[in-house]
Structure 1
Amino acid sequence: MISTWPFKLNNWVVSHFQIDHSGSSDLNRRRRVKLGCVFKVSHCAQISVFQCSRGYGTVVFSGHSKLDLRCGFLLGSPQPKFGIILKQNKSHIGDLAPPLGWALEDEGVVSELVEENIDSNGESEVIKSLNLGQVQDSDCEPKMGVGENSKEGGKEESFGKVDVRALALRLQTALTVDDVREILVDKRDLPLQVFSTIINSFGKEKRMDSALILFEWMKKRKIETNGSFGPNLFIYNGLLGVVKQSGQFAQMETILNEMAKDGISYNVVTYNTLMAIYIEKGEFDRALNVLEEIHGNGFTPSPVSYSQALLAYRRMEDCNGALNFFVELRENYHRGEIGEDDDGEDWEEELMKLEKFTIRICYQVMRCWLVSSDNLSKNVLKFLVDMDNAGIPLTRADLERLVWACTREDHYIVVKELYTRIRERYDKISLSVCNHAIWLMGKAKKWWAALEIYEDLLDKGPKPNNLSYELIVSHFNFLLNAAKRKGIWRWGVRLLNKMEEKGLKPGSREWNAVLVACSKASETTAAVQIFKRMVENGEKPTVISYGALLSALEKGKLYDDALRVWNHMVKVGVEPNAYAYTIMASIYTAQGNFNRVDAIVQEMVTIGIEVTVVTYNAIISGCARNGMSSAAYEWFHRMKVQNITPNEITYEMLIEALANDGKPRLAYQLYTRAKNEGLTLSSKAYDVVVHSSQANGATTELGLLGPRPADKKKKVQIRKTLTEFYNLAGVPRRSNQFDTSEIYRSHTQETP
């Protein structure tokens, strides 16, 4: 049991009241109610006594004005006001006396309103504060039934215990005013605070109809009691709160008309509720106009008023408006225009909360920009600068969340800016954010920027993980494949050096890309050195490695070395593929060893490797390069016998070999045959046939050759892309004579 005794506070008189457990019990629910009760006493020289039985002891508070109750038994407002704060499970409110039940419910309202925390989604907490605060604000009516409806003629009036929760549940079943009258017929006149609490519960349950039926009953009671009982400001505020929570906005005008008819003026809570309703309706400009009405009607906006205005800007996705609104609000506070009337609010703390809410709004709007289908990267970059100028930059967490919102290639510039801000302003950064930035930079083909981020991980932390390693290696692979396709072997070499400098171990895939690039560039010496370095670094060569090396040796006409490499490959158990066999066929052709060429072809057939036009083209090309046109023509017929269809390359190489060997008529016949088969030969083949016929005096009908084919256009490379590759790999712009030391540059130079 908790008991208090009557005492006087200036002109206020508080009656004696007791709190007991309800007579009802539930065997399935074991609970133990623990209540704490403290009087927040205004300026008074008397002593207030708080006594709690069941071993809680007695606490004595002095009414001295310097006493900071927030450091006492319970946190209170900066300027103590009369009232009672009870902290307990809200599920037991119905077991308490009606005035006290209302007081408990209202105290929850005040505490929620004062805290007004900004949660993770940035707006639901403001709505929560308003939902709870729209019925009772800091200037709410006196608690414990002390007021116009609970005191008459200076006499104390005591009410019996009422289970407010049970009563609210019964009133939910009422369908008409008569049903309400029947439910309340056995009740003595209850104070308006009880009905205010019940209407609040209707709002939480979104029961607009139940609230309106109870309201109609209260209007009839006002007529029956000649105005001594009827809806007051708090009842109307509660009804507006139900409108907002239930979404039945059409009832708003009806309620406002009833307020005007009863001559009840708005207070700040009313205006705050109207702002919330307009926001829910999507009428954001009207919500902002309500804030102007608060000023115009002589009221001081509460923190909830300003948070609702910020919420309106959030719903409009107008972060510039929200930012400007807060900056103006902060300037007004520093000029003393806010909080000067000592309204009981801790405006220093409230301003910090509003600042956090503004930052949250700005973050959310920028995130919406990033996930939209439009490219709004420039908007994000500009607004980041605006926030810096306003003195409210984003937190590290918000910056990192924005990085995660960047997923498109055109977001790379935003990610780079966000990453730079985090590195410059904070000591730590999430590794997952760094990995995401590396991934996006690679997607946008900004490999050098990805490499810089990886270097930061090595130098500044956090330590890169397997995902970091895989991402940066994948970017190197992209560059190495580009070098392989373009045959720019120096790119490959420098990229391998950079990988090793950064602690990345190249695998066979990376080594093979460089070997293929050397082969395409006919850099035989470079290919040999890369192959040796690959073995020295503990990487086992694959069939692709051997194939690239054989190709480079074949192009360098180092046939004996190529044979040694072939024998070594077979010896170590690497099975040749079609490409390796084709290279060896080309080598034996260049040597004129056609018996070995036949053996190579037969071996391919024996082990099940398909002999394609590529292999025959290599043999015919070898014959053409070495002036063996007759052999080339023989292998051409063998193709036909094996039902292998020749392609443009086959005809062009054979025509060139025959024309150069003084056989223009045969070259002419092959050209016309290719044309009849629907093949389109190059202008070079046409020119060779014409020139050979003229040079050897052959009579050919040039008209049957048709018009000269157009010259094939060379693919134009984008210089900007090439420059980016050069800058990353550190490759000279002009091709220089190969220097063997370049292959081992990472070993001969200090790592930067």
Structure 2
Amino acid sequence: MRDFVILGSSIITPPPNSQPPSSSSSSSTPQHRHPIIKPHKPPPLSKLNPLSPRNNSSTLLQTPLKPKQFDTCDIDSEVNPELLANAVLVGIKGKNVRSVIESLNKVESIAKISLSTHLDAPVIANECRQLVTSGHIEEAVELMEVLSRFQLSIAELVQPSDILKRCVLKRKPILAVRYASLLPQALILFCQIISEFGKSRDLVSALKAYDVMKKNLKRPNMYIYRAIIDACGLCGDFMKSRYIYEDLLNQKTTPNVYVFNSLMNVNAHDFSYSLNLYQNMQKLGVKPDVTSYNILLKVCCVAGRVDLAQDMYKELKHLESVGQLKLDVFTYSTILKVFADRKLWQMALKIKHDMLSAGVSLNTVAWSSLINAFAHAGHVEQAIQLFEEMLLSGCEPNTQCFNIILNACVEGCQYDRAFRFFHSWKGNKMLVSFDESNNNNSEQGGMHNVTTVPTGVSSSHILSFTERFPFAPTTSTYNILLKACGSNYYHAKALINEMRTVGLSPNQISWSILIDICGASENVDGVVEILKTMIDSGIKPDVIAYTTAIKVCVESRNFTQALILYEEMQSYGTLPNLVTYNTLLRARGKYGSLREVQQCLAIYQDMRRAGFKPNDYYLEELIEEWCEGVIQDSGEYECEYSYNKKPEIERPQSLLLEKIATHLLKRVADILAIDVQGLTKVEARLVILAVLRMIKENYAFGHSVNDDILIIIGATKADESPSKEILEVQEAIIKLLWNELGLEALPAKTSFAPNDRTKLQNPKLLNLSLKALPADNALASTSGVHTRRPAVLQRLKVTKKSLHRWLQRKVSVK
């Protein structure tokens, strides 16, 4: 029968090939046969485990462990470390790791012993590596934890990076901290744990690890604080980095310069906050280093504060002159970028001169920024000359440098030159394009001598640099070349195919440029097909792609397809931007039907709800033209309101379009009241005309009007006369309805003779004041007057009978 090793209450099965000891071994030296813990009184044989025969010398315990059986002063002398180590190895080899962990925990609660000289470290290390490889990280860490408490060094058992990597993948920050705490380089590993979680954009796990570390440390550790702040920056949560900084200050601890640098770098987008950090840094007595100033220059670059960057650069030059610090290449590169972004190429050249004077060689970033300064300013020739100088200096260029040159050619409309440069790049013959550029006339001869190629240098010498630095084009490279295709759709499509051939995937920018090129020939079907291909390739079109496609449809006068794309982009969860809305709202030169007006008003309302402030001028003109069509169709009356002649600054920026949209987006059967409260007389005219035109168009499709229409003009208190504004609006509406349209407009619930137009046209002769009855409470509440107090609504009623006569007359005229 297979033997068993009893360890406390756990049973560990040894491997099948283990041989039972011989009978002579039972009478061997005592230290080879006594158990780990000697009981004070040997138990009778009848109480021994039947599965542990007397001839098994590997038996660890003959009775369950009970702490009360041992004297505390003699515990260590009662334990046999060698037999315990042998049992641990047997259990590990038998893949009973969980039983070994539980049993060692029980032994640890009874006796404190050391197994460092008795365990076979390679066997333990092999098992731990297998556990880690198979994904059982918890068991591996628990085994190393319990073995460390038995004085076993676990530093060499496994590679820390293997465990930490798997903990990051499985999002187990607490387990990673537990393992790192077992190693002598725990502080370094703590920072690495936070950093790795930050790189994986898992800030929640990084913060959990940070909280555990903070509790276990006796005092704040600046390395850990810097690591968690950097993780906040990687995850884009700059506010959390500020809370961590405040927590550090609340502990009455002064951050060091590295913590301040990380905090300023994470908050570089916030100019005022970064500047306050710099000032607090000085107040706390922390001396800034070169990195601090480099980050501050970056802050100025992001904020576009060239003036402050210049002042800081002067201060840095002064500090360098007195020997307090030494400017490095990063300082110069950053200030170069500040000037390059603002197209200040003269200042950028001065920085280059300062660098060379200080003995600082320009690196790739510095050269790229300098070249970019000329490229942004439109000086293509000088940008290419700087690139040649970069090659001569021995600085290794990168793809970004080439892309800057290509983009400069495209921005300068030198499309052929861009393609020649690109093909020479791929063929390692860049000097062909360079020699051509040197033979061309300079755009600005005065600048040609700024960066002159040294004489006596052959083209083959420069070509040797290009042969040493081969580059593969990127997606950005092809996107620049797509712009150089102009309106040649087939050339652009060939470039897209070439991208795929070289292993690059077109991105959203690539497809958007292709859509724009296709739209230049008003090929709406081709644009829709490109969008479909883009979706099929797994790329979700962004707002730029959809807006470009909508623009093509609008320019091709296919407004129906533009609306389809507008609805499609919303169904995909892509939110329109201001350009999208303006493109749709300005698509029409005139409205032909109610449906078209309703579509544009729906887009207008979407734009307002999205938080964009629309320019109502263009849309109001179209709405006015459409509304006035009600009168112009009859040809009897001439409009006496010249809305378009009003200066734009005097045009009413009120709720005009909102009022029109409120009525026109309803069904004709729902139009029982037209609310013109708060509108001027011109705005009220347009709202009423818009509703009447809608009624007329719907009547032609068989929708009749079944009730009178109420026009709510305004509300006043019971004891007050109507205001001058209300009377003006009232008079304008009556003139419109009676004189221009031939409709009967009566005071609500007041009997007047239908043919008494003279009296109706004179507001002073009318008593249109009606106290709000209980049934009118809803209308009174819309006016903004409290319903508990008596209110007078100024209302007009357009009778159903006159509406039918007007509609029949309009239809017959049509």
TM range (shorter): 0.3 to 0.5
- Normalising by structure 2, what TM-score? 0.36
